[in-house]
Amino acid sequence: MMTASHRPIALTVGEPAGIGPDLVLQLAHQGGLSNTVIIGDTRLLAQRAARLGLTLPDELVIRNVPVDDPNVCGAPSTANVAGVIRMLDVAIDGCLHGEFAAMVTGPLHKGIINDAGVQFSGHTEYLAERTGAAMPVMLLASSKLRVALITTHLPLRDVSDAISGERIQQICRIIDQDLRSKFGLQSPRLLVCGLNPHAGEGGHLGMEEIEIIEPALNQLREAGLKVVGPLPADTLFTEKYLKNADVAVAMYHDQGLPVLKYQGFGQAANITLGLPIIRTSVDHGTAFDIAGTGQADIGSLKVALEQARLMSASQIASELDNG
């Protein structure tokens, strides 16, 4: 019988025209895909292997989810979008039903999915909708830095309106809870950015810090969470503050992620907290410019798989501890 600790990880290949298939094949040739089920189109993988001068390893376990046009490389096709979404659904359902310990996703192209008429902001939002999670949280983590986001894939114009005290509290509580249960941290320390330059400069450069962020953080502190902030984002990301924190919380995507990617691009994983399943991903996108060339760096995929395995082990330990 397959025990919880032996369940395989599902790895979705991602956008067929991108570097997802390259990464899977390159890692397979390094022997890095044991106890992993690849969710993707077998013909696509065979063709990409030939293009890369590789073979499709016999030991690779593939759950065949066909796409309409498996010949693509470097230029995406709307014809493949239904297949790409099916890959996600197979992995999500397998996690929900206990077949997989976790899912790791190859990169998708949000634009081509929307071009095909499917509203899609990102895996994060799709996974939340499919698993019934009220508030997914995007966290990117390298060995030196963790950055979580209060808002995810929003136009900058909409960010301020989306930031509410309730949202901040909910997300910080999820970060606190998941860092305990899935990362094994005893008492997570959160460092929270302001929204405006200089955290609003005492109200002269915006009121969100005074009216929304500070009261929300005060309530979290009263509830016992270790939360520092709101701090100006331009100084929060310095050693003096980061050395006393477990996670930096940014108000929006491009406030936090450029710092993480500057520090550790290719060596970090994207992790969705707040879900009933474990999901990690690469820290990069589809990289159409290098698909099929053999230049794709497999570093982030290795980190994403390792992180999924660690989180799954930590969750099993936490469940055993709680009876």
Ligand X SMILES: NCC(=O)COP(=O)(O)O
Ligand Y SMILES: NC(=O)C1=CN([C@@H]2O[C@H](COP(=O)(O)OP(=O)(O)OC[C@H]3O[C@@H](n4cnc5c(N)ncnc54)[C@H](O)[C@@H]3O)[C@@H](O)[C@H]2O)C=CC1
- Judged by CB under 6 A, does residue 80 bind ligand X? no
Residue 290 binding: pick among ligand X, ligand Y, none (C-beta 5-8 Å cut-off by kind): ligand Y
Please select the residue that binds ligand X; options are 109, 123, 146, 302, rule is CB under 6 A: 123
- From the list 171, 158, 155, the residue with the least C-alpha distance to 213 is 171
Beta strand residue intervals within 77-145, DSSP E: 102-105, 137-141
Q: What is the distance between the alpha carbons of residues 7 and 24, in angstroms, rounded to a whole number?
A: 19
Task: Check whether 109 is labelled as a binding-site residue.
Answer: no
Q: Give the nearest distance from C-beta 4 to ligand X in angstroms.
A: 25
Q: Which residues here bind ligand Y, judged by CB under 6 A?
A: 19, 107-111, 123, 270, 281-282, 284-287, 289-290, 296-297
H, E, C per residue of 253-306: HHHHHHHHHHHHCCCCEEEEECCCCCEEEECCCCCHHHCCCCCCCCHHHHHHHH
The binder of ligand X chosen from 122, 229, 256, 274 (CB under 6 A): 122
Phi, psi of 190 (to 5 degrees): -105, 135
Give the three-class secondary structure for 140.
strand
Distance CA 151, CA 251 (A): 6
Q: Should residue 257 be labelled a site residue for ligand X when binding is judged by CB under 6 A?
A: yes
Q: What is the SS3 assignment for 23-79?
A: HHHHHHHCCCCCCEEEEECHHHHHHHHHHHCCCCCCCCEEEECCCCCCCCCCCCCHH
Alpha-carbon distance of 231 to 23, in angstroms, equals: 38
261 in a labelled binding site:
yes
Please state the φ and ψ torsions of residue 64, each to the nearest 5 degrees: -70, 115
Q: Which stretch binds ligand X (CB under 6 A): 39-47, 116-124, 176-184, 201-209?
A: 116-124
29 is in an annotated binding site: no
| Single-letter amino acid, residue 259 | V
Interface with ligand X (CB under 6 A), residue total: 7
Q: Does 153 count as an annotated binding residue?
A: yes
Taking the complex as a whole, how short is the minimal distance between the CB of residue 23 and ligand Y, in angstroms? 7
Residue 257 interface partner, choices ligand X, ligand Y, none, CB cut-off 5-8 Å depending on type: ligand X
Minimum CB separation of residue 233 from ligand Y in Å reads 21
Q: State yes or no: 144 annotated in a binding site.
A: no
**Residue 96, H or E segment:** helix 81-96
Nearest residue to ligand Y on Cβ basis: 285
Does 253 count as an annotated binding residue? yes
Is 281 an interacting residue with respect to ligand X (CB under 6 A)? yes
The token pair that represents 218 in the structure block: 């005060």
| 270 in contact with ligand X (CB under 6 A) | yes
Residue number, 158 or 201, with CB nearest to ligand X? 158
Contact flag: residue 142 with ligand X (CB under 6 A): no
Nearest to 97 by CA among 130, 139, 135: 130
| Cβ within 8 Å of residue 97, ≥6 positions away | none
Q: How far is the CB of 78 from ligand X (least distance, A)?
A: 18
Q: Which is closer to ligand X, CB of 123 or CB of 146?
A: 123
Least distance in angstroms from the C-beta of 108 to ligand X:
6
Q: Are 251 and 150 in contact (CB under 8 A)?
A: yes
Partner from ligand Y, ligand X, none contacting 274, C-beta within 5 to 8 A by type: none
Of residues 17 and 168, the one with the C-beta less far from ligand Y:
17
What's the min distance (Å) between Cβ of 253 and ligand X? 6
| Binding site, annotated residues for a divalent metal cation | 153, 198, 253
Q: Which residues bind ligand X (CB under 6 A)?
A: 108, 122-124, 257, 270, 281
| Binding site, annotated residues for substrate | 123-124, 261, 270, 279
